[in-house]
Structure 1
Amino acid sequence: MRRLVAAAAVLGCFGTGAAEAQVFRTGVETVRLGVAVVDKAGQPIAALTPDDFVVLEDGRSQQVRLFAPGGASDEERPPLHIGLLFDTSGSMVADLPMARTAAVKFCNLLQRAEDITLVDFDTEVRVARFGQQDFPRFVERLRHRKPDGWTALYDALGVYLDGTISQDGEKILVVYSDGGDTRSTMSYTDALTALKASDVTVYVVGFLDNQGSREKLEQRMRLTRLAESTGGLAFFPGSRQDIDHAYAEVLADVNARYLIGYVSTNQATDGTWRKVDVRLNRPDLKAVRVRARQGYFGLLRQEQGAQRPDPGGGAARKRGS
């Protein structure tokens, strides 16, 4: 397990506009993808090699230059950074105890993580980062919050994405929420765009049982789209057993993911969206599903040099302690 020397560090203020696509820095611009490969039962498929994958960018084949197999040792993989978006608004009053227990179990089992970033939100958005040695402080902070106020889900997502800019490695975000945003200045469309511009993989644990049928359908669709656009998954548990199944599946998915990197053949610095499609080159494997993020924004050439486009706007976020 990696350890941080520093204790829990509260992040500084961020604006959503800084949610940029992150990559490995290897001397050239390298696109990094986390790739999940599962069979028809949802079980991870192991022991694949770089030659088993085909990566297409805007329909053009790309050469795999970085590769880490699923289940590889910590030394073979980049650092893992875990984020939790935790809804403590008044609408979560019935589900908060179950969500809190699931979040603690999940983080306790994923011991190879470098750190945990907790973003708890209601009317305001609060964020703190904890090293593994500060796990008790993370648990205490999670248990301290009581359900109250409105729901600033999309603002919380923007704040989290801003904080990932300084992180190099795998970034996994687990969202615990009922999905109903009643407070954010950031729109759902902007939140989705900001996610697409990042290299964060999102897993959603949505609590929708206390909503009406029409609202439940809308929130389920929105949360599912947020997760699937990044190559992640969405779960909507109705019981504690369902939650246990959800976080067990997330753990298995995270630990079995392949890491693939390539240098794009498109060297234009125009800031445009590049669609990425990852496939298997294994005709013998039937009914296999491959999940990865759907693309990224290319670099944008400016006077100061090539930079990522600013997908999320520049709205500042008010945050409590």
Structure 2
Amino acid sequence: MRRAQASTVARQPAIRGRVRRVFSGHALNAIGRSTALGLLAAAAAAPAPSPSAPSPRPVFESRLSLVYVTVTVQDRAGRVVADLPASAFEVREDGQPRPISVFSRGGDEGLDLDVALLLDTSGSMTSELQSAQRAALAVLEKIPRLRRRTVISFDTDIRFWKPEADPMALLSEVMAARPPDGASAIRSAVAAGIEDLRRGGSARGALILLSDGVDFGSQVSETQLFRTIEGANVGIYPIPFVPLGWASGPSTYRPGTVGRSGGGFPTTPDTLAARGFLTRLANASGGLVLLPARHRLAGALDRLLEELASQYVIGFAPAAATPGRSHRLEVRVADRRLKVRHRERYLSR
């Protein structure tokens, strides 16, 4: 299957010109071997952007020793609260208060956002793929103050695309590059997307994942993936798509025309595990699962845009610790009626 995919790309010059790089075969195995500490060490060792490269604000580039945490605050009705001062926040590392060194609100001019869009192009997504891609590319065009954006499609392979093309042209090429019955290497793709944002020097990232959530063929374990999440200030926003042939609940599940690569249908435990997996991704990273995707997608996208525009970024100097150690994060606000969401842990460098 991978040989067929490689030949497909080679036969289409337009696709070859748009794809920045492809992970397949041995490259995917390398992601599995290097993910977690090895992957994070490589990202941390990557050179900082050159002086000529665009920079959102010098404070983020010059204070590389700080830990950054993106924070979303909501009231009891679920509305985002975007106008709190720095004095309203308290940061704790492993239960101990830490002074806030950097504070920015979503409305601040210099608070740029790096976005990675991950599109599941596996066989199980066939019936929903086009609408998912169109919706996600439309979101990327609307998100304000983007410093950089990355478009990644994944199935058996992981492809990084150059997003400068017209969205419709890019969508067409992504569709043409996919195999008919590809696997779904979700964990490998998410790990690769996080690494890409880190290598770009992102102080605030968002990863939008459009997928049915069933992993099949990843070389990255769930433990490795969550270790990678701890090493980056990247919120993950899954938008689940339930393909035709899947029912809305376990009691009414019925097999349809959607199958796994190599034969067989996703089972009820598959769907339940997928939902739990996507929820854990969002919780660990401070992101949010946006539901439902099929009939109320516009509302889910509006909620995503509102949240990204209303977040806070807090930077603090961590206590001295052994590199690679995992630390618990807690951000509190003075008004206990408000709900705070952020990534759960970080890895010391």
Give the alignment's TM-score, normalised by structure 2.
0.74
5+ residue gaps, structure 2, are 1-16, 45-58, 247-265
Equivalent position to 2:79, from 38, 43, 60: 43
1:141 is aligned to 173
Cα distance, 1:250–1:214 mapped onto 2, change above 3 Å: same
Equivalent position to 2:297, from 236, 240, 243: 243
5+ residue gaps, structure 1, are 1-6, 300-321
Instruction: Tell me whether 14-23 or 243-252 shows the greater mean CA deviation.
Output: 14-23
Q: Please state if 1:219 is matched with 2:274.
A: yes
Structure exhibiting the larger radius of gyration computed from Cα positions: 2
Equivalent position to 2:98, from 53, 62, 68: 62
1:319 is aligned to none
Cα distance, 1:228–1:117 mapped onto 2, change above 3 Å: same
Distance in 2 (CA, whole Å) between partners of 1:178 and 1:295 is: 26
Secondary structure at the aligned position of 1:164 is classed as helix
Residue 185 (structure 1) shift: 1.4
Structure ranking higher in strand proportion = 1
Corresponding letter in the other structure for 2:120 = D
Contact 1:19 1:161 in 2 (8 A): no
Structure ranking higher in helix proportion = 2
Give the alignment's TM-score, normalised by structure 1.
0.80
1:306 is aligned to none
Secondary structure at the aligned position of 2:298 is classed as helix
Equivalent position to 1:276, from 318, 329, 333: 329
Instruction: Tell me whether 203-212 or 57-66 shows the greater mean CA deviation.
Output: 203-212
Distance in 2 (CA, whole Å) between partners of 1:175 and 1:298 is: 26
Corresponding letter in the other structure for 1:10 = R
Equivalent position to 1:161, from 188, 194, 206: 194
Instruction: Tell me whether 290-299 or 140-149 shows the greater mean CA deviation.
Output: 140-149
1:81 is aligned to 114
Superposed CA deviations along residues 38-79 of structure 1, whole A, max 9, x for unmatched, are 112221112101100010000110111111123222xx31x3
Residue 135 (structure 1) shift: 4.9
Superposed CA deviations along residues 247-304 of structure 1, whole A, max 9, x for unmatched, are 111111111001111112x113342111110010125xx2x210111121112xxxxx
Secondary structure at the aligned position of 1:192 is classed as helix
Secondary structure at the aligned position of 2:83 is classed as coil
Secondary structure at the aligned position of 1:198 is classed as coil
2:347 is aligned to 297
> Which of structures 1 and 2 has the larger relative contact order (alpha carbons within 8 angstroms, sep 6+)?
1
Corresponding letter in the other structure for 2:207 = L
2:257 is aligned to none
Residue 25 (structure 1) shift: 4.2
Cα distance, 1:19–1:269 mapped onto 2, change above 3 Å: closer
Count of aligned pairs: 284
Q: Over aligned residues, Cα RMSD in angstroms?
A: 2.5
- 1:1-321 residue pairs with structure 2 within 5 A? 10-11=20-21, 15-16=30-31, 17=34, 18-19=39-40, 24-27=60-63, 29-73=65-109, 76-77=110-111, 79-131=112-164, 135=167, 138-146=170-178, 148-168=181-201, 169-208=203-242, 210=246, 212-240=267-295, 242-264=296-318, 266-283=319-336, 286=337, 288-299=338-349
